[in-house]
Structure 1
Amino acid sequence: MRLVGAHGLRRFGIVGVGAQELLDRAADESVAAGVLWRAGAIPRDPRVLRATARASAQWGQLGGLPAASAAAYPERVALVDDRGELAYAEFAERVFRAANGFRATLPANPTIGILCRNHADALVALFGAIAAGARVVLLNTDFSARQVDAVSGREKLDALVYDDEFDTTTTGFEGIRWCAWQGDKSFAALVDAASPAEPPQPERPGSFVALTSGSTGMPKGVPRKTGRSLVISAGLLSKIPLRGNESVLVSAPVFHGWGLIVTALSLTLGSTVILHRRFDATRVLTDLERYGCSTLAAVPTMLRRLLATDRVANANLHALRIVGSGGARLDSLLEQQITDTFGPVLYNLYGSTEAAYISIATPQDLAAAPGCAGIPPRGVKVRIADSAGRPLPPNTEGRILIRSAGQLEAYTDGRTGSVVDGYLDTGDRGRIDADGRLFVAGRSDGMIVSGGENVFPEELELALLTHPAIADAAVTAVDDAEFGQRLRAYVVAAEDVSIDESAVRGHVAAELPRSRMPRDVVFVEALPRTASGKVVRATLTQLQAEHA
């Protein structure tokens, strides 16, 4: 395909950069267009292509997505949730109604929060708000009332769309509220009463704000523009081969970047997206079979629970060719178990809220280098650097810095991330091998120095999870008089299996250097995790206080 010209560069917002970088970005956009064309994300039918271009120009990539897909596949089922099915034409009309309802009720260019689990009206609210020119804040369903209040105030929410189970969590919000699931059905009433006509083009394009997990403090807002760059979508499709007219089950939360990008790309391709409000392993298996799903998008905790069910060995999953994992790190045993159970179908995405996705390990990557995070796709540059930001040679551990179209410019409160020579510091440490594959060691701020050695809690967690008698594990740092700091392991034993502290220590001794041996091993009944697969911070705080 031809390189993007000067006019195209302006369209993609590529201005104010050096000549070589201009050429590099133009080449990336050209290659990205080819990837999207081959994947079927760019319509072949001229009529549909015109409709897609018009919808994108009118309401933005996300806001115009339902209308564009409805022009191509009006009768095809777009969404399946706990309530039923929604065809593409119905989905697009419902998005138009939502946009018109927001415009009639709220001031121009409002800020709308969405606090919903996975269901169709959560997406109607998202796409409708963006089509109306709103700034959408995607709230984490694990947030406490205090976090919801703080985020609502800082982001200046005008309105909130929420599920009824979060009624107590949102009582402090004083703006307009619409319940989208059960409850008073006020969001459905807003949509049903609004006009189905095309909403006018907003004064400014809609956008959304993704929030960090808040695991180390109050959640920070990361603004995301719905611009015209093709690189982010194409980069993921170049690694994970989503295709059109398939069935895709999204268990990962749609408020999280991983769940959202898979959902948006699947809808762009004209596939049917199956959504469950709550994860249930048996039900996931049932729907993977029932709909002949080609793809499952999940987080590691979900995949672990899926493999623990009795039904998985006999499930008819002949159509399943992609098991995508994101949101948290995979341990090597789970990687192997997924491959043994489903075949070479595992794709492991590494990213962050601030950086979008960074690299994606394909089945071939995981077979050649178990535990790796894969090779960054085109458009993403990764540098392993020392403390001063200088590049390090292959197989040398250092700070993971990235440069991409999806990286953070500034948080919504004005603060910026740590940037070195245009590269964003992810806060992680790792290395790149001689073949260009990235390996993530752990969080820079989680690293401790024990007896003079750098030690990462994540390294011990992943090793513990490879023991068949350990169902879950979490590791924290504790002060130690002799070594300065050491590790404490909280372990959940698997059901109907016996394991004691000596067995845990023996396993660690066989897997890791002596410096990684936990000072304490504490057995607990459970380790509650968030929707994105991280251990709930309050649980660890309570456990640390109990075992101080």
Structure 2
Amino acid sequence: MDALFIAATMARRGLLTPARPDRVVRQFASLGRWGFGLAGELRQAAARSPQRVAVVDDERQVTYAELLDRSARLAAALPVTAGQRVGLLCRNSARMLEALIGVSTLGADPVLINTGLSAHQLAEIAKAQDLTALIHDDEFTDRLGDVPNRIGEKQIDELIAATPRGLGTPPERPGRTIVLTSGTTGMPKGARRPTPGGFSPLCSVIDRIPLHAGDRIMIAAPLFHTWGYAGMQIALALRATIVLRRRFDPAEVLTTLAAQQVTALVAVPVMLQNLMDLPTGHAGLKAVAVSGSALPGGLATRFMDRYGDVLYNLYGSTEASWVSIATPADLREAPTTAGRPPHGTRIRIVDGQIHVSNGMLFEGYTGQEAGSRTEVGTGDLGHLDDKGRLYVDGRADDMIVSGGENVFPAEVEDLLAALPQIREVAVIGVPDDDWGQRLAAYVVLRPGETLGADEIREHVRAHRARFSVPREVVFLDGLPRNATGKVLNRELPRNF
């Protein structure tokens, strides 16, 4: 059954179209020799479509043949051996792909580092992850302090230019990419991502999200983030053209979508909010795939009303990869749903918490012994409706008890986010001397809109129980977010 599913999905997405026999042979030979990690996926794409543009960024464009050549040269030149860890502190660019694939080619483990971290956090991560070297964009030099063995942009280019051509040989063990958890509540942990064992993981996603071979895909989500990284893996497998920009600017994104004839966009929800602040949209998109945080109330419907029914919402985590995918039809019928589990994924609700099993569960945190897992908990509370759709009710550790009642901040947050006057909102629990805990709402209004604290409280009171009404309503110019768009609750003011 799995083989039939894979074959049917690959055919629908254009991966089985005829091509020159010699290229097809080299393509599958590359996968057989190198496996389905980054090095193997690049080699199969270069074997089948060597002159197709692989990456377009702010500075240049490179073909698949050129990307393979440069990453292989870099692998040969890096002062790194198999099994060592190399940090990557880079924004989205072709150079980051060259470095990421080059490190993986060696059998070393790339550690993807959030570009929003402080100098102190970077030093702590370099130590905790035992980095042999750190590849970084030049703009971060001043943050690196005493971090040893740093390799900047100019040095990367010099290493590539000075190294003879050669494609290398497969390492005994493929490099394991380490993705750092979001770190919104503490120091990020490193989660080891598994190497796919075949076509099944790819087909599980593209069966539900209509991405096709040769698409032009803009990855706006940071490549150091689980979702941006997954988008890159999918794009390489599809031999797509990957469009990247170092920084997200909504107006520039619209210009790029049109100029580069982009057919699919990989983003995080806050980016869609920013796009919706612009007066116009882009009509050429066939799929907009988002992940990384919950879709705020009403955003899915508003976005599809402007861009068409092209929105797909993937709910997952660094540890679980994907859990469920909501299609446009799901989001039209139930805008707050996280969708249904894709092929090969199973969801269980255990004591109100979401547990998942699939073929791409993480292998453990760095510092812990690696091992296979059959199921992981996401740390989120959730429930299923009678159609099998999943709903995420909030983080298990975010639920508060106010006067003996269980209160879910996310439920109130979603209610307020649907108000037309509100651009963004965060609701959290804070200590209360009388009730144990109470809710506080942090609200950002849209330009030119007015809304009072009492009006917000009355709206909640009219739609939810009295213990869900936020005692404090704080108006801000913007919510503090990390580089992937997640709200940093610890940085919300508590001066009330």
TM-score by length of 1: 0.86
How far has the Cα of 1:73 moved from its partner?
1.6
Q: Deviations over 1:294-346 (max 9, x none)?
A: 11111111111111013x2xx4x332111111111002311111011111111
* Identity rate, percent: 40
Which of 104, 128, 136 does residue 130 from structure 1 map onto? Answer: 104
Q: What secondary structure, in the 3-state scheme, does the structure 1 residue paired with 2:104 have?
A: helix
2:466 aligns with: 514
Q: Which moved more, 1:252-261 or 1:349-358?
A: 252-261
1:295 aligns with: 264
Looking at structure 1, the residues matched to 448 and 68 of structure 2 have their Cα atoms a distance apart, in angstroms, of: 50
1:377 aligns with: 342
Looking at structure 2, the residues matched to 457 and 324 of structure 1 have their Cα atoms a distance apart, in angstroms, of: 26
For residues 49-68 of structure 1, what are the structure 2 equivalents within 5 Å? 49-61=24-36, 62-68=38-44
Which of 526, 530, 533 does residue 482 from structure 2 map onto? Answer: 530
Contact 1:529-1:535 within 8 A present in 2 as well: yes
Amino acid at match of 1:520: E
Q: Deviations over 1:471-508 (max 9, x none)?
A: 22222211223322111111122212222112222332
Contact 2:196-2:360 within 8 A present in 1 as well: no
Q: What secondary structure, in the 3-state scheme, does the structure 2 residue paired with 1:323 have?
A: strand
Contact 1:109-1:203 within 8 A present in 2 as well: no
Amino acid at match of 1:376: P
1:204 aligns with: 173
Which of 353, 359, 363 does residue 399 from structure 1 map onto? Answer: 353
2:123 is the alignment partner of 1:158: no
1:215 aligns with: 184
Contact 1:448-1:477 within 8 A present in 2 as well: yes
Q: Which moved more, 1:195-204 or 1:516-525?
A: 195-204
2:326 aligns with: 361
Contact 2:57-2:93 within 8 A present in 1 as well: yes
2:49 aligns with: 73
Contact 2:428-2:489 within 8 A present in 1 as well: no
Contact 1:210-1:353 within 8 A present in 2 as well: yes
Q: What secondary structure, in the 3-state scheme, does the structure 2 residue paired with 1:243 have?
A: coil
Q: Deviations over 1:247-280 (max 9, x none)?
A: 1111111111211222221232222111011110
**Count, aligned residues:** 494
For residues 242-257 of structure 1, what are the structure 2 equivalents within 5 Å? 242-257=211-226
> Structure 1's 101 and 54: CA in aligned 2 closer, same or farther, altered over 3 A?
farther
1:411 aligns with: 365
For residues 443-454 of structure 1, what are the structure 2 equivalents within 5 Å? 443-454=395-406
Amino acid at match of 1:167: T
1:93 aligns with: 69
Q: What secondary structure, in the 3-state scheme, does the structure 2 residue paired with 1:518 have?
A: coil
Q: What secondary structure, in the 3-state scheme, does the structure 2 residue paired with 1:304 have?
A: helix
Looking at structure 2, the residues matched to 53 and 283 of structure 1 have their Cα atoms a distance apart, in angstroms, of: 38
How far has the Cα of 1:114 moved from its partner?
0.6
Amino acid at match of 2:100: L
> Structure 1's 413 and 29: CA in aligned 2 closer, same or farther, altered over 3 A?
farther
1:39 aligns with: 13
Q: Deviations over 1:122-165 (max 9, x none)?
A: 01111111111111111111222222222221221111111122
How far has the Cα of 1:54 moved from its partner?
2.8
Looking at structure 1, the residues matched to 16 and 86 of structure 2 have their Cα atoms a distance apart, in angstroms, of: 30
Q: What secondary structure, in the 3-state scheme, does the structure 1 residue paired with 2:443 have?
A: strand
Amino acid at match of 1:485: Q
2:171 is the alignment partner of 1:229: no
Q: Deviations over 1:324-383 (max 9, x none)?
A: 111110023111110111111110110011101110000011122221000001111100
1:11 aligns with: none
> Structure 1's 251 and 368: CA in aligned 2 closer, same or farther, altered over 3 A?
same
2:151 is the alignment partner of 1:178: yes
Q: What secondary structure, in the 3-state scheme, does the structure 2 residue paired with 1:222 have?
A: strand
2:400 is the alignment partner of 1:427: no
Looking at structure 2, the residues matched to 177 and 500 of structure 1 have their Cα atoms a distance apart, in angstroms, of: 51
1:441 aligns with: 393
Looking at structure 2, the residues matched to 299 and 107 of structure 1 have their Cα atoms a distance apart, in angstroms, of: 34
Looking at structure 2, the residues matched to 171 and 507 of structure 1 have their Cα atoms a distance apart, in angstroms, of: 50
How far has the Cα of 1:218 moved from its partner?
1.4
> Structure 1's 416 and 402: CA in aligned 2 closer, same or farther, altered over 3 A?
farther
2:457 is the alignment partner of 1:505: yes
Contact 2:194-2:363 within 8 A present in 1 as well: no
Q: Deviations over 1:488-535 (max 9, x none)?
A: 111122212222112222332344332221010011222131221111
For residues 311-390 of structure 1, what are the structure 2 equivalents within 5 Å? 312=280, 315=281, 317-386=282-351
Q: What secondary structure, in the 3-state scheme, does the structure 1 residue paired with 2:142 have?
A: coil
Which of 406, 426, 435 does residue 483 from structure 1 map onto? Answer: 435
How far has the Cα of 1:47 moved from its partner?
2.6
Q: Post-superposition, which runs of at least 4 consecutive aligned residues in structure 1 deviate over 3 A? A: 27-30, 41-46, 57-60
How far has the Cα of 1:208 moved from its partner?
0.8
> Structure 1's 37 and 130: CA in aligned 2 closer, same or farther, altered over 3 A?
farther
Contact 1:474-1:489 within 8 A present in 2 as well: yes
Looking at structure 2, the residues matched to 238 and 112 of structure 1 have their Cα atoms a distance apart, in angstroms, of: 33
Q: What secondary structure, in the 3-state scheme, does the structure 2 residue paired with 1:225 have?
A: coil
Contact 1:252-1:258 within 8 A present in 2 as well: yes
List alignment gaps of at least 5 residues for structure 2: none
Amino acid at match of 1:528: P
1:21 aligns with: none
Looking at structure 2, the residues matched to 332 and 449 of structure 1 have their Cα atoms a distance apart, in angstroms, of: 24
Contact 2:135-2:151 within 8 A present in 1 as well: yes
Contact 2:49-2:239 within 8 A present in 1 as well: yes
2:447 is the alignment partner of 1:495: yes
> Structure 1's 274 and 218: CA in aligned 2 closer, same or farther, altered over 3 A?
same
Which of 98, 105, 120 does residue 146 from structure 1 map onto? Answer: 120
Amino acid at match of 1:353: T
> Structure 1's 43 and 196: CA in aligned 2 closer, same or farther, altered over 3 A?
farther
Q: RMSD of aligned C-alpha atoms?
A: 2.0
> Structure 1's 340 and 235: CA in aligned 2 closer, same or farther, altered over 3 A?
same
TM-score by length of 2: 0.95
Q: What secondary structure, in the 3-state scheme, does the structure 2 residue paired with 1:454 have?
A: strand
Looking at structure 1, the residues matched to 190 and 319 of structure 2 have their Cα atoms a distance apart, in angstroms, of: 9
Contact 2:194-2:362 within 8 A present in 1 as well: no
Q: Deviations over 1:218-258 (max 9, x none)?
A: 11111113242332211111110101222111111111121
Contact 1:78-1:88 within 8 A present in 2 as well: yes
Looking at structure 2, the residues matched to 96 and 143 of structure 1 have their Cα atoms a distance apart, in angstroms, of: 29
> Structure 1's 115 and 29: CA in aligned 2 closer, same or farther, altered over 3 A?
farther
Amino acid at match of 2:327: T
Contact 1:29-1:229 within 8 A present in 2 as well: no
Contact 2:81-2:108 within 8 A present in 1 as well: no
Looking at structure 1, the residues matched to 421 and 123 of structure 2 have their Cα atoms a distance apart, in angstroms, of: 41
List alignment gaps of at least 5 residues for structure 1: 1-26, 387-397
